Amino acid sequence: SKTALDDFEVISTIGTGSYGTCKKIKRKRDGKVLVWKELDYGAMSETEKQMLVSEVNLLRELRSPYIVKYYDRIIDRARTTIYIIMEYCKGGDLATIIAKHKRDGQYLDEEFIWKILIQLTQALQECHQRKNGRAVLHRDMKPANVFLDTDRNVKLGDFGLARVLHHETSFANTYVGTPYYMSPELVNNQSYNEKSDIWSMGCVLYELCALHPPFTASNQTELNRKIRLGDFSRIPACLSDDLNNVISKMLHVEVSQRPSIEELLADPIVSGRRSRME
């Protein structure tokens, strides 16, 4: 039997993001708590709707313990709304954790940052190195899209949809949020690629270390200038050179010198940490 809206009960609204509302829901047949994201496709062109459908189909194929699990989608034609049903991440997101530590004036433990680094790398590996099929790019990696489960393991969320929902036709309307994580190639109007996800991951990890993004400015021109130059300070002195080195590699301005996900995983610093963690 097909899943329908009445198979679920809405518990509460979690929040409204840049392109839809997230609600906490309960599956009636077994009481399982999940979330759905409501997206109104009423204003989309046929092409955009096709893209949305194919991106949502891709989400279904991404399987990793470090990626928010996709369950199903329901289309309500009367309301021109698609409901994307996903795993509920209880542990909150990195943006909340960063804000809390900033308020308390306390850095995060280096061990926790390494764990996030390793697990985010594994999440991106699932997306970039797909055996049969093209790479899935995240396109919107930011602390608010990195969730945690109850054991503080990473669950990367909001995959793929950014391309459709941000109408990626030109640079001007690609970016809707705060562009702190925008890569130099995007600043220079070049197309988004796997390495742009690596850059954004570097920015997220940097922010976990420093409690502020690597590049900050009070206006877009100044921010673009700093990003193009790769002008950032070392992470706090209490954190190791190993951690600083790995993050700095992800923030290489030159795309060709920035490591791919394969290269990152092959980096002895990363693989050493990973084997000690597993």
Which residues are identified as catalytic? Answer: 140
Q: How far apart are CA 99 and CA 63, in angstroms?
A: 30
Site map 126..145 versus ligand ADP, x via CB under 6 A = ------------------xx
Q: Does 145 bind Mg ion (CB under 5 A)?
A: yes
Tokens coding 35: 């979330």
Q: How far apart are CA 196 and CA 128, in angstroms?
A: 12
Q: Is 47 exposed, middle or buried (0-12, 13-18, 19+ CB in 10 A)?
A: exposed
- Sites for ligand ADP among residues 157-176 (CB under 6 A): 157-158
68 binds, among ligand ADP, Mg ion, none (CB under 5 to 8 A by kind): ligand ADP
Give the residue at shortest CB distance from Mg ion: 158
Residue with Cβ nearer ligand ADP (17 or 179): 17
Contact between 205 and 117 (Cβ < 8 Å): yes
Site map 69..88 versus ligand ADP, x via CB under 6 A = -----------------xxx
> How do 21-27 and 8-16 pair as beta strands?
antiparallel
Minimum CB distance to ligand ADP, residue 254 (Å) = 29
DSSP string, 214-263: SS--SSHHHHHHHHHHT--PPSPTTS-HHHHHHHHHHT-SSTTTS--HHH
Q: Which of 93, 126, 197, 207 binds ligand ADP (CB under 6 A)?
A: 93
116 binds, among ligand ADP, Mg ion, none (CB under 5 to 8 A by kind): none
Beta bridge partners of 38: 21, 83
Residue with Cβ nearer ligand ADP (43 or 237): 43
Minimum CB distance to ligand ADP, residue 31 (Å) = 17
Q: Which residues, including other chains, have CB under 8 Å from residue 272's CB and lie 6 or more apart?
A: none
Residue with Cβ nearer ligand ADP (15 or 42): 15
Residue with Cβ nearer ligand ADP (17 or 230): 17
Q: How far apart are CA 208 and CA 171, in angstroms?
A: 27
Minimum CB distance to ligand ADP, residue 197 (Å) = 16
The set of long-range contacts for 41-45, using a CB threshold of 8 Å and a minimum separation of 24, is 41/80, 41/81, 41/82, 42/80, 42/81
Beta bridge partners of 16: 21
Residue with Cβ nearer Mg ion (86 or 208): 86
Minimum CB distance to ligand ADP, residue 158 (Å) = 5
By three-state DSSP, how is residue 154 classified? strand
- Sites for ligand ADP among residues 34-53 (CB under 6 A): 35, 37
Residue with Cβ nearer ligand ADP (87 or 197): 87
Contact between 5 and 83 (Cβ < 8 Å): yes
Q: Does 122 bind Mg ion (CB under 5 A)?
A: no
What are the residues binding ligand ADP (CB under 6 A)? 14-15, 17-18, 20, 22, 35, 37, 68, 86-89, 93, 144-145, 147, 157-158
What are the residues binding Mg ion (CB under 5 A)? 17, 145, 158
